[in-house]
Amino acid sequence: MSYEIAVCYGRPNDPAAFDDYYVATHIPLAIAVPGLAGFSWSKCTALDGGEPPYYAVAHLQFETEAALREALSSPEMKAAGRDVRNFATGGVTMYTEQIQSRRKL
């Protein structure tokens, strides 16, 4: 079983500034978190053509619950968490996930 942290970003005031800051500054902070086994981020589009509830979503993957717990209490995670206020003008929702099934087809 694996674990993830999902970070869901609301629509920022300036999407281009968000993207620039996120790629140049925030991603390097996030990938420095100890125990990180994978990282992805994506921009959201609503299937019905409307406004999606989130602008972007990031997933930080961990192989074990122990690795997730260690990461959550690390100085690197605290630094990444503090950095969110520097660019996430649309708000942010964060939660953990316990992956029940993952299949490559």
The domains of the chain are located at 2-99
Q: What is the pLDDT of residues 22-39, one digit of tens each?
A: 999 999 999 999 999 999
Q: Which of 84, 92, 97, 89 is nearest to 38 (CA)?
A: 97
Does residue 68 carry a pLDDT above 90? yes
Q: Which of 73, 71, 75 is nearest to 34 (CA)?
A: 71
State the average pLDDT over residues 7-27.
Answer: 98
What value does the mean pLDDT of the chain take?
A: 97
Q: What is the pLDDT of residue 38?
A: 97
Residue 104: pLDDT band with limits 50, 70, 90:
confident
Q: What is the pLDDT of residue 1?
A: 81
| Length of the chain in terms of residues written | 105
Looking at CATH, the fold of the domain delimited by 2-99 is given as: Alpha-Beta Plaits (3.30.70)
Map residue 5 onto helix, strand or coil.
strand
